[in-house]
Amino acid sequence: MTSAAGTLPDNIVYFVRALRRAGVPVGTAQILEALRAVSVVGFTNRLDFHTTLRAMIVTRAEHLLVFDQVFTMFWRDPEFLENMITNLLPVITAPPVDPLMEPARTRAAEAMASGGGKPRCAPQQEQLEIDAQFSHSDVEKLSEKDFDAMTAVEIYAAETAIRTMGLNLPKVPGRRYSLAANAVQIDRRRALQGARRSGGEMILLPKRRAKPRRLNLVVLCDISGSMTSYSRMMMHFVHSVAQFQGQSWAAVHGFTFGTRLHNISPLLTIKDPDAALRAIGSHVRDWEGGTRIASSLGDFNMHWARRVLSTPSVVLLITDGLEREGIAKLESEMARMALQTRELIWLNPLLRWEQFSPQAAGIRAMLPYVSSFVACHNLDSLQELSDSLRNGLHADHKKRLIGMLK
């Protein structure tokens, strides 16, 4: 090693800090391990050094690119080790956000805040008043009101109501077992174990039953222009459902799509709904733009379905289904997705009209592949969805609409 070996650990620590700023989580134990690894491999070959650090620090495929970029930026200067401190500081103090991206980020965040933003800026006193104003009967009135027709204050109240809402799902039998007195299946292993205690005589026959297993939930939410009035509310709904995780879901995966598909699952773990929505707003770049359902679903099937649908799951597809191009592709993508899910539930706000009939080509293409077709335009319909999932009875419009198609 060179004489700079003494500063190498420091450099690695600074490098990790830069990485953390770029959004790669690295634990202290990993740094120690990385230092150990580098001392084993030696600091002679840049490629080896790169691989060593990468192996020690990166744990997810999506971080590889970030790592490579930060690595190139950070270890660019060959004389870096000699004058680390002078060179280093500008690198790590540089803001990680691309200035070009900033307006887009703000725009997206604004898009998220539009409509429901006002009441939150209101002074504390006024908020208290609002809370008092919504007595029980008001909430009831509110629950039937279309999200589209709500005032800013009502939206705020509705968001609050959604926060307490979860989704309940029937559990399915898993591959693990628990003792149950009234089960049918004999737990042979335990019976033998008991016999061992009583000198080889089987006195009791313990029974076992498959432990109920939780299903995964995958939500695909349309955020294109035609969904504007609903997408924010739906995001609140998705967030509240994700926060219920551990009560009725094994894992919740969230995706948004407009012109592109975005995975928002990591952002759904942020506890505070407003912070989570802000984060989603700055992550997703196609709010209220056009819509390309077929290609987004294709993207999902190609890159994500194999990762998130491998365990039994329920898919909620939130979209109005207003797709103009690529109907054939839309149909084949829906067919593929339906094959991989236990239940594919389509939430469509267009069902707010009683006379709704499936005229649009996109809707006609998608309808045959969903297992149920439900409304999502007001609080009542969301509550209904939650209740029906638990009972296995859907407020299902699919049959009626398929009938209309014929």
Partner 1 sequence: MQQLPKSIDKTSELLASEGYVADRSLATLTYLSLTLNRPIFLEGEAGVGKTELAKVIAKGLGRDLIRLQCYEGLDTSTSVYEWNFAAQMLAMRNGVGEADIYDEKYLIKRALLKAVEPHASGPPVLLIDEIDRTDAPFEAFLLEALSDFQVTVPELGIIKAQEPPIVILTSNRTREVHDALKRRCLYHWVDYPDFDREMKILTARVPEAKQALSLEVVAFIQKLREEDLFKRPGLAETLDWAKCLIALDVVALSPDVITDTIGAVLKYQDDIAKITGGAATRILDQIKQDMQALK
Does position 64 bind partner 1 by CB under 8 A? yes
Does position 218 bind partner 1 by CB under 8 A? no
Does position 171 bind partner 1 by CB under 8 A? no
Closer of 188 and 400 to partner 1 (Cβ): 188
Closer of 214 and 236 to partner 1 (Cβ): 214
Q: Which two tokens stand for residue 371?
A: 């297992």
> Can you tell me the distance from the alpha carbon of 230 to that of 349, in angstroms, rounded to the nearest whole number?
7
Residues touching partner 1, count (CB under 8 A)? 40
Instruction: List helix spans (H) across 114-226.
Output: 117-121, 124-133, 136-144, 152-163, 188-197
Does position 186 bind partner 1 by CB under 8 A? no
Does position 83 bind partner 1 by CB under 8 A? no
Which of 193, 216, 214, 218 minimizes the C-alpha distance to 205? 193
Of 171, 306, 324, 400, the one binding partner 1 by CB under 8 A:
306
Burial of 227 (0-12, 13-18, 19+ CB in 10 A): buried
Does position 46 bind partner 1 by CB under 8 A? no
Backbone dihedral angles phi then psi of residue 323, each to the nearest 5 degrees:
-115, 135
- In the beta sheet, which residues pair with residue 315? 218, 344
| Residue 329 near residue 295, CB atoms below 8 Å | yes
Task: Tell the smallest beta-carbon distance from residue 82 to partner 1 (Å).
Answer: 26
**Chain centroid, CA 15 distance in Å:** 30
Does position 247 bind partner 1 by CB under 8 A? no
Helix (H, G, I), strand (E, B) or coil at 274: helix
Closer of 29 and 100 to partner 1 (Cβ): 29
**Contact region for partner 1 (CB under 8 A) — 8-16, 107-115, 185-193, 277-285?**
185-193
Residues in 5-44 at the binding interface with partner 1, rule: CB under 8 A: 25, 27, 29-30, 33, 36-37, 40-41
Does position 68 bind partner 1 by CB under 8 A? no
- In the beta sheet, which residues pair with residue 220? 255, 317
* First-to-last C-alpha distance (Å) of the chain: 78
- In the beta sheet, which residues pair with residue 221? 256, 318
Does position 192 bind partner 1 by CB under 8 A? yes
Does position 406 bind partner 1 by CB under 8 A? no
**Binding-residue pattern over the window 248 to 267 for partner 1, x denoting contact by CB under 8 A:** --x-----------------
**Pairing verdict, β 172-179 and 313-318:** unpaired
Does position 2 bind partner 1 by CB under 8 A? no
H/E run at residue 216: strand 216-222
Does position 176 bind partner 1 by CB under 8 A? yes
Per-residue DSSP letter, 207:
B
Does position 120 bind partner 1 by CB under 8 A? no
> Can you tell me the distance from the alpha carbon of 395 to that of 384, in angstroms, rounded to the nearest whole number?
7
Closer of 95 and 200 to partner 1 (Cβ): 200
Of 109, 195, 360, 361, the one binding partner 1 by CB under 8 A:
195
**Contact region for partner 1 (CB under 8 A) — 170-178, 317-325, 371-379, 396-404?**
170-178
> Can you tell me the distance from the alpha carbon of 187 to that of 184, in angstroms, rounded to the nearest whole number?
9
Residues that bind partner 1 (CB under 8 A): 25, 27, 29-30, 33, 36-37, 40-41, 47-48, 51-52, 54-56, 58-61, 64, 174-176, 189, 192-193, 195-196, 199-200, 250, 301-302, 306-308, 310-311, 332
